[in-house]
Each structure stands twice: as structure tokens, then as C-alpha cells.
Amino acid sequence: MIEWDAATIKDFQTTLLDWFDHEGRDLPWRHDHEPYHVWVSEIMLQQTQVQTVIPYYQRFMALFPTVADLAAAPESQLLKAWEGLGYYSRVRNMQRCAKQLLTDYDGQWPQTAAELTELIGIGPYTAGAIASIAFNEPVPAVDGNAYRVFSRLLKIDADIAKPQTRAVFERVISQIISQERPGDFNQAIMDLGSSYMTARQPDTAHSPVKRFNQAYLDGDELAYPVKTKKLRPKPVAYVAVLAKMQDQWLMTKRPSNGMLANLWTVPLIPIADLDLDDDYQPEELVTAVDNYFKREYQLQLTAHYLTGRPVTHTFTHQKWTIQGLSGQVGLSDLAYFAGQTFTLIERQKLPMPKVQEKIFARYSID
């Protein structure tokens, strides 16, 4: 890792902030420094691209314009507003945090990064972003962009997959960040990392900070940041049962804990629970699912195999492959079924995960 002297740091700050003043992205959450706006945008931007977030952010703010509105929102409305963004624990934690702010802080935001990390669901990066942008505290906001930008600028070869590496970057960036404009500095690094200093196809030749980029000058820019590979997600096979009772859909609500908590899906049955051989045939799957419905739900299902490629969906630790079946259930008591029936219009109003949207889109059964 190289180090900069005070003159180089000042030169870098001036160059970066001049560029940001003229070329920084015009984003709806940058129109003011309200901590609520910064917080919501930063939580939404985790694992999600900016262009995807913009309409979600605008709708969210229309529905929940204040912390108090978010705290009071029915969970079903909250999940529906978040539908499609994934990682639903984020929005659940946001509501818990909103209630914490009202209960423990009288609705007032803490103004330092250290205090902000005491709030539910706010980690070091989000705390740094809120503290620097909303309250002008000169603290770094270390995310993937910051790792990439500063590892290339200074040739930092610490493995960013290791938790202890964050402290290395925080220490280095704390020495470089603008004391007068820390929020703009952090946002400029975000913009730099998403434009000229992207992961795979950087355009450093036209970057405003090209002359500071030591990895580029040395010809090994793509070697940074250093990151060991993650384990591949575990494959899990499911069957999705798109079934109706008369003209209403059978939908199940996921448990309140675990993946996709409290969201609605069609019945999703792990293939491993059906006692099938690895080389099972379609008709064997249909029979096994009919028997499962009778055994587990006390329902008489007449299922049909749906042809075409199965749906695939990748989570952080699992990759789901989902085979669809259609079916009809005889008019019955749903006492043993973990869900209820809905008309098509009612079904469309339910908060559903992205994987369920993919299932309906693939099999197109209405």
C-alpha cells in the first residue's frame, strides 16, 4: 500500500469534489440532507442498482413520508411497497428502527456514526453515510465502491472478504476524507466507483482522478480489490403447485422467521420431502405431490405437470430450482392448510417475493 502526503491528499480532495460538483448524479435522495431520506435510500441501495431503486424510493416516500408513518405502517403494506427489491429483512428492520427512534430517541436522529450504529439494522457503512451526509461528520462510508476505489488508488492488497479489512480501509480513508465536505466526498466516491472505476470494465483513461490511480498507472488495475471467492450457493429443488379451489388460488404465507418471512407464495414443496428417486419421471412427481397434499393438508389435489424450463432463483446461500405443477383441489375445509384461497384480484394485492413473481410469469396461469 502506498501512502499520500498532505499535499497529495489536498490535491485529490479538490480534484474529486470539483468533478462531483459538475458531474455528480442528480438523485432524488440528494435533493436535501434529511437523515430519513439518506437512510431509506442507503438501505434500498444495498444489493440493488440505482436505476432500480429510484422509482421504489419515490413510491416509498409517497406512502411513508416520515419516520412516524413508517413506524405505524401495516406490515402487509410495507412488504407490498418493498416487493421486488428482495432481502425483506431490510424493510422489517427499517420499521423496527423507526419504532426505536420514536420510543427511545423521541423521534430525533443520533448525529454521529458511533451513535447511529446503536439503531436496529444500521451497520458501519450506513451509519457513516448518514453521519457524513446529514450531519457533516468526517467519517468514511465504506462499501463496495469505496473498497474498489481506494484499493486501486493506493494499491491496498488486504482481502476485502475478511471482516477485519474494513478497519484498514476506514483508517486510510479517515486520513483522506474532506473535513469540510465529508458527505459530498463519500457520495463522490460512490459515483466514481459506479462510473469510471467499475469492477470489470473501468474507464480510468477518462477518470477525473486518473493521475492518482496507482494500480492503473502500474497496469494492474483489475487485480484490485483483492477478494477471495465465496462458496457457491447450495442447490435446493422445489415443486411449485399452482392450484385452484373452484376459481380461487391456494396461497400460503411463509413463517414469520426464516427466508421470505410473512410473504405469500403458492405451495412450495421441497423435492427432498417427496421421497423420490433422483431420476424420477414427471408422472411420479405428480403422484407424489397429490399424495403430499392428501397427507399434509387433507386436500384432494388433481395435479398436472407443466412443461418448460424450471424457474431458477439465487439467494445468498441457496439456489432454488422450481418445477411447476398446475392443479385443482376439491371443495374442502382448509383447516390443515397453511394458507387460504384468493381471487385473482386479491392475489395480486398480496406481498409476494421476486421468486413467486417469476413462477407466475413462467407458467402464466390465470
Chain centroid offset of residue 307 CA: 31
Catalytic site includes residue 180: no
Q: Which residue has the cell 466507483?
A: 193
Name residues whose C-beta falls within 8 Å of residue 266's C-beta, 6 or more positions apart in sequence. 240, 241, 242, 243, 249, 250, 251, 252, 356, 359
Instruction: Please report, as a single letter, which amino acid is at residue 13.
Output: Q
Grid coordinates representing 54 are 429510484
The residue annotated as part of the active site, out of 3, 23, 42, 75, is 42
161, 208 in Cβ contact below 8 A? no
Q: Which amino acid is at 301?
A: L
Q: List the one residue out of 197, 234, 251 whose CA is nearest residue 317.
A: 234
Catalytically active residues, by annotation: 42
